[in-house]
Amino acid sequence: MDEQSKEEQLLAWVERVAAFFARNNGLPLITGRVLGWLMVCDPPEQTAAQIATAIGASKASLSTAVRVLEASGFVRAVTRPAERGVHLRVADDVWERVARRKLEALGDFSEITADGLEILHDEPARGDRVRDAHRLFSRLEQQIAPLLQHRDDDSP
């Protein structure tokens, strides 16, 4: 039927996701794999051990990966009655968070350019290049922020 089993296809896809986040967000590969896997796994809530075997990583790596993913709010840990340990799932607002974090980077850069202008305040011409940057990124920050408003959700 398929040239590749769906499992293999999914793992290959997870690999692409991991590579993307490694390249664009500086995430360690394994962390990206966890995120990618949690996007497509069935069931959608899995234990660290399950994830580890799925993506072929060690318990230790899972521990650190999950720590950063939880701290970033990308992944949530849920417990179940009468089961020990936690199950992990992607947060409902992962992607808003990812995007918002990128937006923050924009803001950080605006701060840098602002400080640059400060240093060059007595040489306006020399500050032109920095000023251009500052204007563009401040504008973008302001225009993009409203596109990322929290959805007011009260879903179960």
Partner DNA sequence: ATCTGAGTTCAGTATGGACTAAACTGTCTG
Partner DNA sequence: CAGACAGTTTAGTCCATACTGAACTCAGAT
As a whole number of Å, the CA-based R_g of the chain is 21
| Site of tokens 């996007």 | 39
> What is the enclosing helix (H) or strand (E) of 89?
strand 87-90
Which residues 6+ apart lie within 8 Å of 13 measured at CB?
36, 40
Binder of a copy of itself out of 56, 95, 124, 145 (CB under 8 A): 95
Binder of a copy of itself out of 47, 72, 73, 96 (CB under 8 A): 96
Task: Tell me: does residue 120 bind a copy of itself (CB under 8 A).
Answer: yes
Partner whose footprint covers residue 47, from DNA, a copy of itself, none (CB < 5 to 8 Å by kind): DNA
| Distance (Å, whole) CA 63 – CA 41 | 19
Cβ nearer to a copy of itself, comparing 60 with 147? 147
Which residues 6+ apart lie within 8 Å of 8 measured at CB?
none
**Under the rule (CB under 8 A), what is the footprint of a copy of itself?**
6, 9-10, 13, 16-17, 20, 23-24, 26, 38-40, 42, 44, 90, 94-96, 99, 102, 105, 108-109, 112, 115-116, 119-120, 123, 126-127, 129-130, 132-133, 136-137, 139-140, 143-144, 147-148
